[in-house]
């Protein structure tokens, strides 16, 4: 069942080009973003929504955080993202014109299910679930559904579920943008084209594995690591830190790079590896000055960037380049190297990669 791979996690990381291609197949075949992709009465549910409330746990929550950047920038709708276990126990103000989106690989996470029930009890009738397991509890309790087609995910650490959630959320964003008159035919064609090319770009990122393996030995003896990103890549830093802590048991924190001076810089010294997600987007110059702040305190930098960013390795600065910057879908491509890093560091530390201590694949209890 594992084929040439040592662990399910490694296999599932490598399945991502196919998992993404399968998940977007319906959109590509349709040749357009259409509400019907989310259910028969989706046009009616989505047309006049005034905002989006996303609820999820763990990695699925980070998919939601990424989507917020897209939904506000592309669809022009206000979007909040909240951890399901927090939302369900606070007194929230509901707006029935907001769409409640739950994201869950398993479709059985108790807190996400309870958060959905709570939202419904507050008067939220427009509900959509993004889920990988057909007919599981959460999609059954939702009016609209988009199934990711990642296939069974065995490793406790979520990998292909995350990147397929992201393409589903991007599809939702583009569909909402179109319904709300914010996507013309040219932009729609560009987004479809970007999705069509995504499996290839993800494959190129997977080809970086030997370079990432080269970093793993340096991480293996560390006790702590810091992950930095800005904008839409900040949630990818969060996901990278979660992956590393889950399977290698190295304490890892992620921060928006602009927050360094507000506290975490105090932790940086020669012993602290700092992973930076630094693609060539409009925030790159800001990220570069954050990297200088780290170097000035002796922190060792491990930078994931892309080909057109024009900066290379130097003393204490290691650089791995993904291929050409892929624009709006860049966070999906930049997820691959952080997954590979966590996997190879765990391998070097000899932990139980597929079944990390204290964790279960599906969290059906509080
Ligand atoms: O099945 P779900 O997507 O609802 O699960 C949510 C989290 O339990 C899950 O993403 C967890 O954080 C993973 N172990 C992360 O790798």
Q: What is the pLDDT of residue 309?
A: 86
* Residue listed under structure tokens 């006790």: 223
Crossing angle of the two packed helices 160-179 and 16-30, in degrees rounded to 10? 20
CA 310 / ligand 1 centre spacing (Å):
36
CA 364 / ligand 1 centre spacing (Å):
11
CA 236 / ligand 1 centre spacing (Å):
15
Tell me the C-alpha distance between 137 and 141, whole Å.
6
From the list 159, 161, 183, the residue with the least C-alpha distance to 172 is 183
CB atoms within 10 A of CB 257: 30
Tell me the C-alpha distance between 240 and 242, whole Å.
5
CA 302 / ligand 1 centre spacing (Å):
26
Q: What is the pLDDT of residue 265?
A: 94
From the list 230, 211, 240, 338, the residue with the least C-alpha distance to 288 is 230
Q: What is the pLDDT of residue 268?
A: 96
Sheet holding 251-256, edge to edge: 251-256, 224-229, 273-277, 300-306, 317-322
Instruction: Return the ligand 1 atom nearest residue 362 CA.
Output: 1
Probe target for ligand 1 pocket from 58, 160, 165, 252, with the most ligand atoms within 8 Å of CB: 58
* ipTM tops 0.95: yes
For residue 185, what are its two tokens? 């035919």
135: left (phi over 0), alpha (psi -120 to 50) or beta: left
Probe target for ligand 1 pocket from 12, 56, 57, with the most ligand atoms within 8 Å of CB: 57
pLDDT tens by residue, 282-317: 999 999 999 999 999 999 999 999 988 888 899 999
**Centroid of chain to Cα 230:** 14
Residue 79 in contact with residue 72, Cβ under 8 Å?
Answer: yes
Q: What is the pLDDT of residue 56?
A: 98
This model's pTM is above 0.95: yes
Q: Measure Cα distances from 282 to 65, 286, 327 in Å.
A: 19, 8, 11
Which residue's CA lies nearest to atom 12 of ligand 1? 58
Q: What is the pLDDT along the chain (366 residues), one digit of tens a residue?
A: 899 999 999 999 999 999 999 999 999 999 999 999 999 999 999 999 999 999 999 999 999 999 999 999 999 999 999 999 999 999 999 999 999 999 999 999 999 999 999 999 999 999 999 999 999 999 999 999 999 999 999 999 999 999 999 999 999 999 999 999 999 999 999 999 999 999 999 999 999 999 999 999 999 999 999 999 999 999 999 999 999 999 999 999 999 999 999 999 999 999 999 999 999 999 999 999 999 999 999 999 999 999 888 888 999 999 999 888 899 999 999 999 999 999 999 999 999 999 999 999 999 998
Tell me the C-alpha distance between 348 and 192, whole Å.
39
Probe target for ligand 1 pocket from 65, 105, 159, 252, with the most ligand atoms within 8 Å of CB: 105
Pocket of ligand 1 (CB under 6 A): 57-60, 104-106, 109, 112, 156-158, 242, 246, 362-363
Instruction: Return the ligand 1 atom nearest residue 56 CA.
Output: 4
Q: What is the pLDDT of residue 325?
A: 84
Instruction: Return the ligand 1 atom nearest residue 165 CA.
Output: 3
Tell me the C-alpha distance between 103 and 84, whole Å.
10
Instruction: Return the ligand 1 atom nearest residue 59 CA.
Output: 10
CA 115 / ligand 1 centre spacing (Å):
15
From the list 275, 270, 265, the residue with the least C-alpha distance to 244 is 275
N-terminal to C-terminal alpha carbon distance within the chain: 32
Tell me the C-alpha distance between 259 and 268, whole Å.
13
From the list 297, 251, 303, the residue with the least C-alpha distance to 275 is 303
What average pLDDT does the structure give for the chain? 96
For the annotated catalytic residues, the residue numbers are 361
């Amino acid at each position: 069942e594992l084929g040439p791979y040592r662990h399910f996690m490694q296999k599932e990381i490598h399945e991502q080009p196919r998992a993404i291609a399968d998940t977007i197949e319906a959109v590509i075949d349709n040749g357009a973003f259409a509400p019907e992709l989310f259910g028969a009465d989706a046009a009616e549910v989505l047309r006049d929504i005034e905002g989006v409330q996303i609820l999820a746990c763990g990695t699925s929550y980070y998919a939601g955080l990424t989507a917020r950047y897209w939904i506000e920038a592309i669809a022009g709708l206000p979007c909040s993202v909240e951890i399901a276990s927090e939302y369900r126990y606070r007194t929230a103000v509901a707006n029935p014109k907001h769409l409640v989106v739950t994201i869950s690989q398993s479709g059985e996470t108790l807190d996400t299910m309870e958060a959905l029930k709570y939202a419904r009890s507050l008067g939220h009738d427009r509900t959509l679930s993004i889920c990988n397991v057909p007919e599981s509890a959460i999609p059954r309790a939702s009016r609209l559904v988009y199934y990711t087609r990642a296939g069974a995910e065995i490793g406790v650490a979520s990998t292909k579920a995350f990147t397929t959630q992201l393409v589903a959320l991007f599809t939702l964003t583009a569909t909402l943008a179109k319904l709300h008159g914010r996507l013309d035919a040219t932009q729609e064609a560009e987004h479809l084209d970007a999705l069509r090319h995504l499996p290839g770009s993800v494959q190129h990122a997977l080809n970086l594995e030997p370079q990432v393996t080269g970093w793993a030995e340096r991480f293996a003896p560390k006790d702590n690591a810091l992950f930095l990103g800005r904008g839409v890549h900040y949630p990818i830093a969060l996901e990278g830190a979660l992956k590393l802590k889950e399977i290698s048991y190295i304490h890892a924190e992620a921060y928006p790079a602009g927050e360094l001076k507000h506290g975490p810089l105090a932790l940086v010294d020669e012993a602290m590896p700092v992973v930076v997600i630094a693609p060539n987007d409009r925030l790159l110059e800001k990220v570069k000055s954050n990297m200088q702040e780290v170097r000035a305190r002796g922190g060792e930098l491990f930078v994931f960037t892309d080909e057109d960013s024009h900066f290379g390795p130097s003393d204490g600065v290691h650089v791995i380049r993904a291929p050409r910057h892929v624009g709006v879908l860049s966070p999906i491509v930049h997820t691959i190297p952080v997954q590979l890093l966590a996997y190879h560091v765990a391998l070097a530390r000899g932990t139980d990669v597929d079944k990390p201590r204290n964790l279960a694949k599906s969290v059906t209890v509080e």
